[in-house]
Amino acid sequence: MIKSRIAAVDVGNDALKGLFGKLENQLYIPNIIAPDLEDRPVIGIEELDKKEVLDNIHIRVHSPALEENNVIYRVGNLAAKTTNSQELDPGSSKSEEDQTLVMLFAALALDAVESDDFRERNGVIEANYMLGTGLPLREVKEGKDVGYRSQLLSSVHQVEFLVTPKHQGKKINLKFEDVKVYPEGFAAYVNLVMDNDLKVINKELLDKQILIQDIGGLSTDIAVIKNRNVDDDKAQGYNLGVSESLEQIREEIRSRHGVELDSRSDVVDIITRKNDRNHIMVRGSRTNVNDITDHILLELAKKEYRFLRNTWAKNSQSEICYFVGGGSAVLKDYIKALNNKLDGFNIEFFENEEESIWMMANAYYKLINQFVGTLNKDKKEEKVVTESK
* 187-239+300-357: CATH topology: Nucleotidyltransferase; domain 5 (3.30.420)
Residue boundaries of the structural domains of the chain: 4-182, 187-239+300-357, 243-293
pLDDT at 99 (0 to 100): 95
Q: Summarize pLDDT for 97-140 with one digit per residue, the tens.
A: 999 999 999 999 999 999 999 988 888 999 999 999 999 888 88
Kindly report the number of other CB atoms within 10 A of residue 309's CB atom: 14
pLDDT at 46 (0 to 100): 67
Q: What is the pTM of this model?
A: 0.86
Q: Summarize pLDDT for 304-326 with one digit per residue, the tens.
A: 999 999 999 999 999 999 998 88
Ranges under pLDDT 50 in the chain: none
Kindly report the number of other CB atoms within 10 A of residue 317's CB atom: 8
Q: Decide if 4-182 and 187-239+300-357 have a common fold.
A: yes
| Domain 4-182 sits in CATH 2.60.40.10 | no
The pair phi, psi for residue 92, each rounded to 5°, is: -80, 155
pLDDT at 302 (0 to 100): 97
Q: How far apart are CA 44 and CA 38, in angstroms?
A: 17
